[in-house]
Amino acid sequence: MADFELNCPLPLQYDRIVMAHGGGGRLMQQLLDTLVRPVFRNPVLDQNHDSAVVEINGTKLAFTTDSYVVKPLFFPGGDIGKLAVCGTLNDLAMSAAKPLYLTCSLIIEEGLPAADLQRILQSMQQTASEAGVLIVTGDTKTVDRGKGDGLYINTAGIGIVGEPVNVRPSAIRPGDSIIVNGDLARHGIAVMLEREGMNFEHRIESDCADLSGLVQELLQAGIEIHCLRDLTRGGLASALIELASAGRYEFELSESALPVREDVRAACDILGFDPLYIANEGCFALFVPELQTEAALAVLRRHPLGQQSCRIGQVKSACSQGRVTLQTLIGVNRILDLFSGEQLPRIC
Amino acid sequence: MNMQQAFRDPAAAKQLAAAIAAITTRPWNIMEVCGGQTHSIIKYGIDQLLPEGVNLIHGPGCPVCVTPLEYIDKALAIAALPGVILCSFGDMLRVPGSQEDLLGLKAQGADVRIVYSPTDALEIARKHPDQEVVFFGVGFETTAPTIGLAAYQAKQSRLKNFSLLVCHVRVPPVIEALLDSSDNRVQGFLGAGHVCTIMGCGEYVPLAGRYRVPIVITGFEPVDVLHGLYACIKQLEEGRFEVENAYRRVVREQGNPAAQQLLRQVFEVVDRNWRGLGMIRHGGLALNDDYRDFNAELRFSVDAIDTQEPVACRSGDVLKGLLKPSQCPEFGTRCTPEKPLGATMVSSEGACAAYYRYRRLQHG
């Protein structure tokens, strides 16, 4: 088997952008690799991390930005405002930075109820204040009715990386344990069920949360963190595949160890989705030396956002292409591969 | 442990795999009819638990894969018309037509929407009375009742701006066509559990008898599939050829009579061209005369469409079980999920897509 090769990266095959180019899968990688990165290429961008780490007068700063488009604006467990703050805080936290300041740019569609906007802004302020960061600058634009989904938000963030921390994809080593801090796929499913008006017996809430405090606890406890990656768009699988490919390592996961809540799994089964590819907004993958596994788990489990923490796999030896394998429930190994774009609901 | 986990239980799976090994004395070619089963087999690696010589042939039971190109092109032509909202299941949107796919057309400004149920399309039609809403309905007997229900409700409520582009297919005629073909290698079938949930088991009895093949109605979880395989191999080893229901927790012998009645009310059996397989006698369902007002093919003149099937695509051989996806020279090179030559590389239930996702790089 497998007497074939993949000629990757493929050229961008659509002459227009399609939705799948933003889906966190292979088409998005192609867009970044063939159109975006070549234009901006520089050593900081090439760090390929959730935020860029730059040094200014001996101080290491983490710097990141993200745009938030979510329909509906309010969903179980959060809203676009909370999401826009947590998402950027988490990108900073993945570089082990302590977040300090955020920006807030609003693109508002004509007709958005002012009360909704106020509620969203208050939610942003509350989330920022709980995280101990300030929203210090921003911008406001409006667009014609029908040209936006009510509201888009962009936030950028800046934070300080303490010494001598060096948390980055290239620090991953064979033998490292791979740990997640909570159950998977809740955000994507919560938003989807709300959007489609599908009701389950129990309401599934997004896991949307600021993870920077949890990361700071790991650092303060002296855990030797090799790498952190938040498991947003594209889910656990896409994030790990990207890291494994970049570092040319094999990651081996155990399907029976992957934490997915029963109601979330049921929703995925009904819709034909694989929970490993569904977005999270309060989950990270943590890489630590095997000997530190228990210590890291103990720190995580003491924190409200880490009580479900568990080890899901390990970094194996280097391999030529880099890959993620999954030992299935029935004990057979298979690879995890990037989706093309977004997962599409199946027919039956 | 809940019921779902019970049917993914590693111990039960290994026990069944051992039982299969114990009764298997020679090679057998068994076809799982449904794409959902193919997906499960490749995703969990069920085929790797089987004794050498038990060869699983991935059947034509992926609705997206067998929808003829002509209908994809018709859907594209209708979606491109001004004032039309075209709705379909998510899987259909990436299937390449002769020139492009529905997602590409959407990027150019066409109003193409994913819905989870055909009745959602009815709602869209009610909300947009000044636009024509068309539901592109494909699939087997499993999904036909939901599309029948949308047609029924549209007729009851005299909805003027709603129509259906229907390309439904039926399982028993395609099994018959496979068994009739001179290059058939299939010795036993795992029947599609969800199709039989609607239609029951009766339709398969004449086939099992006439062609002397066991047909075991099978579910989709790993333990279900292994249970179906065990029952099928046991029949083959004992020289029996019966219809057996190995998915009793879901499938009743008579199926779902209410759904069957709805199908009779809305649809008629027609000969249907299956992508990759050709014309199958009685292989499809179309809206009957009572529902002609809701037939999008009649409402929008989209008859004269010139379709061009990619020459290199061998999905027909894959669907007939003559070729494993990874044996196709185009697999993973000129044909990928991003740039598929045929629908078997697109659908989440397509055999080529399943091999690409789960088996590519296996030994890389």
A16: containing domain: 1-41
pLDDT given for residue B341 in this prediction? 85
Q: What is the mean pLDDT of residues A247-270?
A: 93
Q: What is the pLDDT of residue A11?
A: 47
Please give the pLDDT value at position B264. Answer: 97
Q: What's the mean pLDDT when you consider all of chain A?
A: 91
Mapped onto helix, strand or coil, the DSSP state of residue A99 is strand
Least confident of A208-212, B55-59, B69-73, B88-92: B88-92
pLDDT confidence of residue A178: 98
The mean pLDDT value for A77-102 works out to 97
Find the CATH number of the domain harbouring A281.
3.90.650.10
Give me the mean pLDDT over the B35-62 stretch.
91
Q: Give yes or no: residues A153 and A245 share one domain.
A: no
Q: Which of B108, B142, B360 sits opposite A6 (nearest CB)?
A: B360
Nearest by CB to B139, from A2, A266, A347: name it: A347
Q: A55 and A94 share a domain? A: yes
B331 and B323 in contact (C-beta within 8 Å)?
no
Which of residues A105, A133, A161 is at a domain's end?
A161
Structural domain contains residue A35: yes
Instruction: Answer yes or no: do A30 and A75 share one domain.
Output: no
> Which residue in A2, A17, A319 is closest to B362 by CB distance?
A2
Q: In this complex, do B116 and A271 lie within 8 Å of one another by their Cβ atoms?
A: yes
Query: B18-22, B86-90, B298-302, B333-337: which has the highest mean pLDDT?
Result: B18-22
Nearest Cα residue to A156 out of A141, A143, A168, A139: A139
The residue out of A118, A138, A161 marking a domain boundary is A161
Q: Is residue A347 situated within a structural domain? A: no
A321 in the same domain as A192: yes
Question: What is the share, in percent, of chain B residues with pLDDT greater than 70?
Answer: 97
Query: In terms of Cα–Cα distance, which of B249, B250, B247 is closest to B215?
Result: B247
Q: What is the pLDDT of residue B304?
A: 65
The whole-angstrom separation of Cα A164 and Cα B280 is: 70
Model confidence at B349, pLDDT cuts 50, 70, 90, reads confident
Indicate yes or no: CB of B14 within 8 angstroms of CB of A331: yes
**Virtual CA dihedral for A284, A285, A291, A296, nearest 10 degrees?**
10
Bigger pLDDT: B4 or B41?
Answer: B41
**pLDDT surpassing 60 at residue A5:** no
**Rg for chain B (alpha carbons), in Å?**
21
The residue written with tokens 């029935």 in the block is A330
**Residue of chain B whose alpha carbon sits nearest to that of A7:** B333
Domains of chain B with bracketed CATH: 18-304 (3.40.50.11740), 315-357 (no CATH)
Number of domains in chain A: 3
Whether pLDDT at A343 is above 80: no
CB proximity B10 to A under 8 Å: yes
What pLDDT does residue A345 have?
65
Is the distance from CB of A203 to CB of A187 less than 8 angstroms? no
pLDDT exceeds cutoff 60 at B274 = yes
Of A8-12, A114-118, A158-162, B2-6, the range with the lowest mean pLDDT is A8-12
Find, in chain B, the residue whose alpha carbon is nearest to that of A192: B116
What percent of chain A is predicted at pLDDT more than 70?
Answer: 93
Residues A20 and A62 in one domain: no
| Neighboring chain A residues of B116 at a CB cutoff of 8 Å | 196, 198, 271, 345
pLDDT-based confidence at residue A3 (cuts at 50, 70, 90): very low
Whether the pLDDT of residue A7 is over 70: the answer is: no
Tell me what pLDDT residue B3 has.
Answer: 67
Buried b (16+ CB within 10 A) or exposed e, A249-279: bbbbbbbeebbbbebbbbbbeebbbbbbbbb
pLDDT by residue (tens digit) across A286-321?
Answer: 999 999 999 999 999 999 999 999 999 999 988 888
Both A221 and A239 in one domain: the answer is yes
Final residue of a domain: which of A134, A161, A188? A161
Question: Mean pLDDT, to the nearest integer, of B108-113?
Answer: 93
Is the pLDDT score of B308 beyond 80?
Answer: no
The verdict on a CB contact (< 8 Å) between A340 and B94 is yes
- What average pLDDT does chain B have? 91
Sorted by sequence, the CB contacts under 8 Å of residue B54 that are 6+ apart come out as: B20, B24, B27, B28, B30, B229, B233
Same-domain status, A18 and A122:
no
Q: Does B140 touch chain A (CB under 8 A)?
A: yes
Eight-class DSSP state of B252:
-
User: Hey, is A4 helix, strand or coil?
Assistant: coil
Cβ neighbours of B36 in A, within 8 Å: 348
Q: How confident is the model at residue A2 (pLDDT cuts 50, 70, 90)?
A: very low
Is B7 part of the contact surface with chain A (CB cutoff 8 Å)? Answer: no
Q: Judge contact between B277 and B61, C-beta under 8 A.
A: no
User: Does position B92 have pLDDT exceeding 90, yes or no?
Assistant: no
Residue A141 bridge partners (DSSP): A107
* Whether residues A318 and A231 fall in one domain: yes
Say yes or no: A124 and A197 in one domain: no
Contact yes or no for A334 and B45 at CB 8 A: yes
Rounded to the nearest 5°, which phi and psi values hold at A214?
Answer: -65, -40
pTM over cut 0.90: no
Helix, strand, coil share of chain A (percent; to 5): 35, 25, 40
Is A345 domain-assigned? no
pLDDT tens for each residue of A200-245: 767 899 999 999 999 999 999 999 999 999 999 999 999 999 999 9
Task: Please write the tens of the pLDDT for every residue from A178-201.
Answer: 999 999 999 999 999 998 777 776
Do A82 and A144 lie in one domain? The reply is yes
Q: So what's the ipTM on this one?
A: 0.75
A104 and A151 together in one domain: yes
Is A8 a residue whose pLDDT tops 70?
A: no
Asked if the model's pLDDT at residue B141 lies above 70, the reply is: yes
| pLDDT tens column, A52-70 | 999 999 999 999 999 999 9
% of chain A with per-residue pLDDT over 90:
72
In terms of Cβ atoms closer than 10 Å to its own Cβ (0-12, 13-18, 19+), residue B2 is exposed
Q: Residue B100 has what pLDDT?
A: 85
Q: A136 at the B interface (CB within 8 A)?
A: no
- B307 at interface of A, judged by CB pairs closer than 8 A: no
* A265 at interface of B, judged by CB pairs closer than 8 A: yes
